[in-house]
Amino acid sequence: MMRPVGTYATAGQPPAEKHETSFREALTDPRARLGVGMATLLATAGAVHRDRVGACEAATFRAVNGLPDALYPPVWIVMQLGAFGAVPASAAAAWRAGDGELAARLLFGGTGAWALSKLVKQAVRRPRPVTLLPGIRCRGREAAGLGYLSGHAAVAVALGVAALPRLGPAARVLTLTAVPLVGLTRLYVGAHLPLDIVGGAALGLAAEAAAGLVTSRPRTRCAAARHERASRWDPCGHR
């Protein structure tokens, strides 16, 4: 008998819901995050120049860098969420909460993002904004070294993405708000340009994904074995 028009091919699960589930699963797959992070990192590294800044990137930078000086005290507090000190602090908090796997991901992902940012800086060698653009407002201690990419953005994304699945609704909202704000604070203090932030976020995403693959490997293997056994089971008794 022909199926009526508009009925679902799979009983109990509409096609739209199946696609939505697949999309969510892709986002939670560390291999997908690793691929997205590396692709974005390579794209931004190829787009930056050592001797000039594009008009759009410069305009975005000046819009944030030109905000009032009175914002600096709260900006400084938010900026510390991307400092290296946030890595052991967050890992220790997860350990005290009894989540050893999360503590390991925070420690490995955050440290990896921070260390790799130093290597990428030496490879790309893009200067700081004060060297590339006139009229920069530098707030606080002037950042030394190279510009691309932002280590603060890398650390903040690595920590935020690792912690997000373990947080409640309110804490998730705070995290999703704070992580992008860390990148904006680096524009505000004059330490980085927008592509530096995007590149740092991409590196942080890749570093967190790699840490997730390493720290969750035993659990993943067990889950894969259970899935394989379940797929071989036949309700009619056939194997």
Position 9 scores a pLDDT of 44
Q: Which domains does the chain have, with CATH numbers?
A: 57-215 (1.20.144.10)
DSSP readout, the chain?
Answer: -PPPTT--SSTTS-HHHHHHHHHHHHHH-HHHHHHHHHHHHHHHHHH--SS---HHHHHHHHHHHTS-GGGHHHHHHHHGGGSTTHHHHHHHHHHHTT-HHHHHHHHHHHHHHHHHHHHHHHHH-PPPHHHHSSS----SSPPPS--SS-HHHHHHHHHHHHHGGGS-HHHHHHHHHHHHHHHHHHHHTTS--HHHHHHHHHHHHHHHHHHHHHHTHHHHHHHHHHHHHHHH--TTS--
**Residue 125: its pLDDT value, please?**
96
Residue 12: per-residue pLDDT? 52
| Confidence at residue 142, expressed as pLDDT on a 0 to 100 scale | 87
Could you state, in chain order, the average pLDDT of each consecutive group of 10 residues for the chain (239 residues)?
46 50 65 96 96 97 98 97 97 96 96 97 97 95 93 98 95 96 98 98 97 74 48 46
